[in-house]
Amino acid sequence: MSEMTFPLPDVGEGLTEAEIVTWHVAAGDTVALNQVICEIETAKSLVELPSPFTGVVAEVLVEVGQTVPVGDPILRVTVEGGDDVAAATAPEPASDPVADETRDAVADAAASVEHEESGGAVLVGYGTAGSAQSRRRRGGEPLLAGGAGSGAAAIPVAEASPIIAKPPIRKLAKDLGVDLSTVSGSGIAGEILRDDVVRQASQASVFRNIVTPEASEAREERIPLKGVRKMTAQAMVTSSNEAPHVSVFTDVDATRTMEFVKRLKSSTDFAGTKVSPLLIFAKAMLWAIRRNPEINSTFTETEIIRRNFVNLGIAAATPRGLIVPNIKDAQELSLLDLAKAIEQLTITARDGRTQPAQMQNGTITITNIGVFGMDFGTPILNPGECAIMAMGTIKEKPWVVDGEVRPRMVTTVGGSFDHRIVDGDVISRFVADVASVLEEPALLLD
135-209 and 2-109 share a CATH fold: no
What per-residue confidence (pLDDT) applies to 85? Answer: 43
**What's the CATH code, domain 2-109?**
2.40.50.100
- Domain range 227-445, its CATH number among 3.40.50.150, 3.40.50.300, 3.30.559.10, 3.90.1530.10: 3.30.559.10
**Domain residue extents for the chain:** 2-109, 135-209, 227-445
pTM beyond 0.75: no
Query: Do the strands 364-367 and 326-327 form a parallel or antiparallel pair, or are they unpaired?
Result: unpaired
Contacts of residue 222, Cβ cutoff 8 Å, sequence gap at least 6: none
CB 268 within 8 A of CB 279: no
419 is catalytic: yes
Summarize pLDDT for 368-416 with one digit per residue, the tens: 998 888 999 999 999 999 999 999 999 999 999 999 999 999 999 999 9
Summarize pLDDT for 211-228 with one digit per residue, the tens: 567 888 888 888 888 877
DSSP 75-126: EEEEESSHHHHHHHHSPPTT--HHHHHHHHHHHHHHHT---TT-----TTS-
CA pair distance 285, 287, nearest whole angstrom:
5
Does residue 184 or residue 101 have the better pLDDT? 184
CA pair distance 271, 265, nearest whole angstrom:
7
Q: Does domain 135-209 match CATH 1.10.10.10? A: no
CB 15 within 8 A of CB 72: no
Residue 153, sorted as left (phi over 0), alpha (psi -120 to 50) or beta, turns out to be: beta
Summarize pLDDT for 5-50 with one digit per residue, the tens: 999 988 765 678 888 888 999 999 999 988 889 988 876 677 888 8
Residue 125 scores a pLDDT above 60: no
